[in-house]
Amino acid sequence: MTIRPHTKIIFPLFFLLSFFWVATLNANQSASETSSLREARMKWWKEARFGMFIHWGLYAIPAGEWNGRTDYGEWIRTSAQISLEVYDQFVPRFNPVQFDAEQWVRYAKEAGMKYIVITSKHHDGFCLFDSEFTDFDIMSTPFKRNILKELSDACRKYGIKLGFYYSIMDWHHPDYLPRREWEINRTVQGAVFERYVTYMKNQLKEILTNYGTIGVLWFDGEWEGTWNDKYGKEIYDFARQLQPSIIVNNRVTTGRQDLKGFTVEGEFAGDFGTPEQQIPATGIPGMDWETCMTMNDHWGYNKNNNNWKTPETLIRNLVDIVSKGGNYLLNVGPTSQGLFPQPSIDSLIAIGKWMKVNGESIYATHSSPFRFLPWGRCTRKDIDSGVRLYLHVYQWPSDRKIVVPNIFNQPNSCYLLSDPHRKSLLVTRNEDGLIIELPLQAPDPYVSVVVLDVKGKLDISNPPVFSSTHKIFIDLLQVSILSDRESQEIRYTLDGSVPRKDSLLYTGPILLNSTTLISARCFRNGKPVSETVQEQYKKVIPLSPVSLLNPSNGINYQYYEGDWDVLPDFSKLTPIKSGELEKLDITNANSPDKFAFRFTGYIEVLYDDVYTFSTNSDDGSRLYIAGTLVVDNDQLHGPMEREGVIALSRGFHPIRIEYFEKTGGEVLEAYIKGHRLEKQLLKFYK
Ligand code: H79
């Protein structure tokens, strides 16, 4: 059973849990910029919350179709393996006579968007602007009108901020490396990557000096091994010198982990994270981010794809993102004639209609103070008398009541944001929180917003959070329970029952010596003020070791080739080569891309303990001990570390590490950490 609290130390509750309001310093902040200067630079962007992405270029001409396949987009040159010579023939065909920059900007404005980010150059290398440094630009087309110039003038006229997307990867420039692997007759001879970096700088100087103030610089295509952190920082500084207030995304350098869009902790991350086609489960304290997303399945125009998101989805995405503290950059892929697809226009108008009524709940608001709301989302804004909560109701309740859970502030006023008369809604309190009585009919078919003004500083009780080194243990485990509020008690049970006012009072870390289910809940004045949370802690028997007669350093490997997006089933494959290596090493691959390794050997641990193993890999990897999957780091991604735990007895244990690489950079490392063992690279035996 359990040994009761053995210490009276009150834990520093606030460190862990004050994340909803803390504005931490950005780890990447350049030394010369104070946090208040950074805040001033980011202000317009953080208040804007909603912007338009535009993917436009030569790829709008094939419109997603090539040799009978119809699912291409802006990647068509590479995905359909179109040679440079053939792709170049789109240049004399690019003549978007219906392009009207002001109309595009009006669409954005109409939708309630505050900024536009357009592809000045996508991966295909084609430039929508007049560049001195290449002929592969708009001036070589019959159109001969500088798109960026017209758009920047229109944006200025309508008060919309303009940003430029600029691809680091460039499938056209002779000095960019690597080539696509199917481009067998495009020689790399004479290619000098440094010269490509100079080309980039020259072009960045053009787009950052010829079009007035530019709000955002949005890099992409940074993941091929040729780009690195040194270039990234250099280019970031270069951009900031030319436009001191510009906001630069994290793809300027190489720390982005995958399409989740956030940079590896501790690495330079530009000014904001870039989740792509996805919305993070929660925001990240002190981290600015922007989800970019398509309206159908493609960024560039695809004439056959009709998988359009509904206005409801788009509006709810915006609300969801803003409630988590992010921005929404919603894409339009115009046609080769220069027109927005009609379904995009329709959605922009529908969003705009919603924003005209409800925009106040989006612009310049902050993330939700609630961890979870069953009926929708919340954003908030500080006002003189306290805090204004915007309650975004997705499911209009049939009993006409919504609960604002565990809030102690006194309500000041409450009304529907759509109601010009601001007719008061009845607010009462019960033990769950504030209860708001709504009218029978939802004012909006997609998301209805209720305004709730409360007095003073927010006083909301979220459920407590458990903290321990692991969820499994061998002998004893110390578990802490933390709350984000000082003025309340935590009560807990160890038998799975819901904590009551006379349950055990938490006063300090709990020491467990057997498998236990802990349930915890916050109380104030003897009344429960939060939901109950539970966690199971499992006592385990550490894995028995194996005996090795003559252990020597080294590891066995099998090498495979193939084109995978996830780890293959190695049992069905025949290795191309195999042998022994001194350490975990993928440098003896025969090919730069599309290969896999399977390593087998033994590791030794010196104590019985719960060990944390991790792999850092690009692309996917998995680590097994004695056949048990411990680390699952599969999938396509940039360098990314994932961990897992297992209890081991002192001695040798069989280990297997699987790894694959599709394209781009490659890395594989494996680490171990224990209570008495600092994190270190694994050593292998055979
Ligand atoms: O411009 C649009 C797309 O054309 C471009 N980004 C958006 C804004 C895009 N290019 N590629 N992708 C999106 C998907 C690529 C994913 C991967 Fe990777 C590249 C998988 C592995 C390398 C990103 C970097 C995820 C892991 C590392």
Nearest to 491 by CA among 512, 521, 524, 456: 521
For atom 3 of ligand 1, the residue with the nearest CA is: 299
Interval 292-305 mean pLDDT: 98
Interval 497-521 mean pLDDT: 96
Q: Does the pLDDT at position 638 exceed 60?
A: yes
pLDDT tens, residue by residue, 72-112: 999 999 999 999 999 999 999 999 999 999 999 999 999 99
Q: pLDDT grade, residue 258 (50/70/90)?
A: confident
Q: Which atom of ligand 1 is nearest to the CA of 331?
A: 8
Position 56 scores a pLDDT of 98
Q: Does the pLDDT at position 129 exceed 60?
A: yes
Q: Which of 184-188, 290-294, 523-527 has the lowest mean pLDDT?
A: 523-527
DSSP state of 9: P
How far is C-alpha 482 from the geometric centre of its chain's CA atoms? Answer: 27
| Average pLDDT score over the chain | 93
The position carrying tokens 């809030």 is 407
Position 559 scores a pLDDT of 98
Mutate to test the pocket of ligand 1, among 259, 264, 661 (most ligand atoms within 8 A of CB): 259
Position 467 scores a pLDDT of 94
CB of 258 sitting under 6 A from ligand 1 = yes
Position 620 scores a pLDDT of 96
Q: Which residue has the higher pLDDT, 196 or 664?
A: 196
CB of 166 sitting under 6 A from ligand 1 = no
Position 23 scores a pLDDT of 34
CB of 666 sitting under 6 A from ligand 1 = no
Q: pLDDT grade, residue 462 (50/70/90)?
A: confident
Percent of the chain at pLDDT > 90 equals 88
Neighbours of 122 (CB within 10 A): 27
Residues 63-80 as b/e (b if ≥16 CB within 10 A, e otherwise) read bbebeeeeebbbbbbbeb
Pairing of strands 516-524, 527-528: antiparallel
Position 15 scores a pLDDT of 34
Distance CA 75, CA 66 (A): 12
CB of 105 sitting under 6 A from ligand 1 = no
Interval 261-288 mean pLDDT: 93
Distance CA 102, CA 451 (A): 35
Q: Which of 37-51, 96-110, 248-262, 477-491 has the lowest mean pLDDT?
A: 477-491
pLDDT tens, residue by residue, 313-330: 999 999 999 999 999 999
Position 637 scores a pLDDT of 85
Distance CA 585, CA 271 (A): 34
CB of 276 sitting under 6 A from ligand 1 = yes
Interval 626-646 mean pLDDT: 94
pLDDT tens, residue by residue, 363-410: 999 999 998 899 999 999 999 999 999 999 999 999 999 999 999 999
CB of 299 sitting under 6 A from ligand 1 = yes
pLDDT tens, residue by residue, 19-63: 333 333 344 445 578 999 999 999 999 999 999 999 999 999 999
Interval 149-175 mean pLDDT: 98
Mutate to test the pocket of ligand 1, among 53, 59, 272, 299 (most ligand atoms within 8 A of CB): 299
526 Rama sector, left if φ>0, alpha if ψ -120 to 50, beta otherwise: left
Interval 104-122 mean pLDDT: 98
Residues in Cβ contact with 50 at an 8 Å cutoff, skipping those fewer than 6 apart: 111, 112, 113, 114, 318, 327, 328, 330, 355, 362
Say if CB 385 and CB 453 are below 8 A apart. yes
Give me ligand 1 centre to Cα 165, in Å. Answer: 14
pLDDT tens, residue by residue, 191-220: 999 999 999 999 999 999 999 999 999 999
Position 31 scores a pLDDT of 54
Position 284 scores a pLDDT of 86
Pairing of strands 510-512, 477-482: antiparallel
CB of 259 sitting under 6 A from ligand 1 = yes
Q: pLDDT grade, residue 665 (50/70/90)?
A: confident
Neighbours of 175 (CB within 10 A): 17
Q: pLDDT grade, residue 16 (50/70/90)?
A: very low
Give me ligand 1 centre to Cα 424, in Å. Answer: 49
pLDDT tens, residue by residue, 580-628: 999 999 999 999 889 999 999 999 999 999 999 999 999 999 999 999 9
Position 484 scores a pLDDT of 75
Nearest to 409 by CA among 454, 462, 463, 370: 454
3-state secondary structure 391-414: EEECCCCCCCEEEEECECCCEEEE
Q: Does the pLDDT at position 17 exceed 50?
A: no
Q: Does the pLDDT at position 278 exceed 60?
A: yes
Q: Which atom of ligand 1 is nearest to the CA of 300?
A: 4
Q: Write down the pTM of the prediction.
A: 0.85
How far is C-alpha 395 from the geometric centre of its chain's CA atoms? Answer: 27
DSSP-derived secondary structure for 104-137: HHHHHHHHT--EEEEEEE-TT--BSS--TT-SSB
Say if CB 558 and CB 664 are below 8 A apart. no
Neighbours of 205 (CB within 10 A): 16
Tokens of 208: 């950052």
Position 493 scores a pLDDT of 97
DSSP state of 502: T
pLDDT tens, residue by residue, 326-369: 999 999 999 999 999 999 999 999 999 999 999 999 999 999 99
Give me ligand 1 centre to Cα 370, in Å. Answer: 33
Interval 453-460 mean pLDDT: 95
Q: Does the pLDDT at position 11 exceed 90?
A: no
CB of 639 sitting under 6 A from ligand 1 = no
Position 10 scores a pLDDT of 33
Nearest to 331 by CA among 274, 370, 282: 274
